[in-house]
Amino acid sequence: MLPQKISKLLMSAAFILYLTPSFGVELTPLKPSTTQEITAIEILEKLKIYHFNRISVDDTLSEQLFDAYLDSLDPNRSYFVQQDIAEFSKYRLSFDDMLKRGDLSAAFDIFNRYQQRFVSREEKKIALLDQPENFDFSRDELLQIDRSEAEWIDNEELLEDLWRRNVKYQLLSLKLAGKSLEKASQQLQKRFKNNLERSIQISAEDVFQLFMNSLTSLYDPHTSYFSPRTSENFNISMSLSLEGIGAVLQREDEFTKVSSIVKGGPADKQGELQTSDRIVSVAQGQEGEFVDVVGWRLDEVVDLIRGPKDSVVKLEVIPSGQDETQRKTIAITRNKVKLEDQSSKKKVIELVDNGGVSRKYGVVQIPAFYIDFEALRNGDPEYKSTTRDVQNLINQLLTEDQVEGIIIDLRGNGGGSLQEANALTGLFIEAGPTVQIRRSSNRVIRQGKPVPSAYYDGPLVVVIDRLSASASEIFAGAIQDYKRGIIVGEQSFGKGTVQSLAELESGQIKMTESKFYRISGESTQHRGVVPDIHFPDNYNHDDVGESALEKALPWDTINPVRHPVYGVDMAMIKAAETKHNARIVGHPDFDFVKQRYAIMQERAHREFIPLKEDKLKAQRENDRKALREIENVRRAAKGEELLPEDEPEQDDESSDAVAATESTQENSDDQSEKEQPEKPDFVVEEAAHILQDAFIKISSQLAVKE
């Protein structure tokens, strides 16, 4: 027995030695406060009573929380080793009981170990870069992209080699992006030193928020705990009271990722920043120096991007679907996101039918479901809302423009006011229910248009995409269930849940309390709205949509609601779909979307990155070439100027071609959109063709009601 005890003692000594930062950084173990212990009990109680997803706080939840917490700390399994996990396993079945009594000691013990590991690792990475010439870029080796499902590493030598490869990749990425080896090494050392400094500054509040969000993530992806500081930032973002760029950001591994673009905001107007882009550095003004923000806390990056109205912020981003070797710089003028910037807008499309007759169709673009509650409360008869604006636009299209049908464009509309989604549906039906809301108590509330009134009952097509969510899905789903119009585009986002905020002893909790259901009884959750006629996908469903989120609540059904139906039937849809499919064969824009999606899918399934310079460079050039080739095929078919072979960054810009046009509007209040030359939108044009194919031959039977 003695040799075994000595062996364990030596292992412990080596373990402690490894935990000691080599550069002499002193770490004070963090401890929870009494307030945080009280708040933990309060969070658990509120989740138990109010959350839609009723989860028992037992050993099963404890195991899930144990794994979720480790994943939140070390998602790529590159800091902890097997010995750590074995030591932590004593907590695997204890978290439930500890939470019930507000005991956070285990969570803080695990975090303190992680912080030690992190500091030690950053110091070693910095030391590796003291001699960047020691990295052999001619050596043929690989780096695994995703280790989230890999085994925990069982020895120091393998861990060291993993991090050597990681640093080598980052160094090579900067080198291929045009930096000298010396400059690349200096930039990375600065990044790692910043990471080191931020790690040392982490507070008990940060640890508590991280652990609590590991818990809330088990309920669903939209339930979150906000610390007092995070609550302040959240309330600011909801009120839009500070100037910024109009983008929703989230943390993904070491990167700040664009979760969505606010319609009508500065980034949306500028037109280049896209959903799923990753921000790597930020500069102030046109001439400001870029600050590397890889590894920064999300709130720190947000603070850096915010700023005074009319000031410029420059972002260096890795475009969606690209690797770290490919960068793009975007300059955005900060401004407030104004209600009028999110207003619905109209335009007219003219098509020639098979008989040679020119026909006009109206398009109403709805970027959000908005309402000016303050003006409404103050009794302003001219208060602004989606429904009021759309009603006026439809009247103008029918009376002034003499259109024969309406297209509602909900692409990129992430939702907004439920009240407006119901009211808007009422513009297209005589009366009836529009949505069912199921509470956590299982009580079902129905909302809709209770009293019959005048409505537009002419030809109707609704366009949706993967970014159409929440209120957009309620409207599109109701139109589909009533057989009132044809839904075209991509399968929508699938967010069919309702959240509410609750104050806590310290901070706030945002909880999912209800689910939306269509009048057919089907949930909009997870599956969203499936279009009657599907267009080629722009977005990878593994990256964008409710189905891409961990622990998303499932799709299910409740009892349907009786409702009338209108004139759209399956035969009409199938006939229009047949003509649509024939029409888009060889269509340059639709072909580009399909080919680009296939390329992005191939990239998304890569498991390893080559660390040999000529191989990574060749892969990068092949990726660029593939996108440039399909873009030039598109341009050639449309008679546009081709991209030159020697324009390395053009493929990033051409990615915007999936939307057929790239916004060129200046971020200026006094420059109207009417001054901008409007480029054709192939998605809306195809929607107009479908409307014409499906409805115009029976337009006499679908007269507009006065």
Phi then psi dihedrals of residue 191, to 5 deg: -60, -45
Residue with tokens 């019930």: 100
Q: Which residues contact 17 (CB under 8 A, 6 or more apart)?
A: none
Q: Is 144 helix (H, G, I), strand (E, B) or coil?
A: strand
Which residues participate in catalysis according to the annotation?
470, 481, 495
Q: How far apart are CA 260 and CA 249, in angstroms?
A: 7
Taking alpha carbons only, the member of 98, 99, 106, 107 closest to residue 45 is 99
Taking alpha carbons only, the member of 78, 74, 72, 75 closest to residue 121 is 78
Are 406 and 361 within 8 A, CB to CB?
yes
Q: How far apart are CA 653 and CA 664, in angstroms?
A: 12
**Tokens of residue 375, six digits:** 């003006």
Residue 691 buriedness (CB in 10 A; 0-12 / 13-18 / 19+) = buried
Neighbours of 374 (CB within 10 A): 9
Are 307 and 243 within 8 A, CB to CB?
yes
Q: Which residues contact 179 (CB under 8 A, 6 or more apart)?
A: 187
Beta-strand pair 533-534/247-252 = unpaired
On the CB side of 290, CA atoms within 13 Å amount to 16
Q: Is 123 helix (H, G, I), strand (E, B) or coil?
A: helix
CA distances to 285, 402, 586 from 583, rounded to whole Å, are 47, 26, 8
Q: How far apart are CA 621 and CA 57, in angstroms?
A: 52
Show the beta-strand stretches assigned E in 215-339. Answer: 224-226, 247-252, 255-261, 278-284, 291-292, 312-318, 328-333
Taking alpha carbons only, the member of 332, 325, 277, 286 closest to residue 305 is 332
Are 531 and 447 within 8 A, CB to CB?
no
The secondary structure of 502-558, three-state, reads EECCCCEEEEEEEEEECCCCEECCCCCCCCCEECCCCCCCCCCCHHHCCCCCCCCEC
How far, in whole angstroms, is CA 320 from its chain's centroid? Answer: 11
Q: How far apart are CA 128 and CA 192, in angstroms?
A: 11
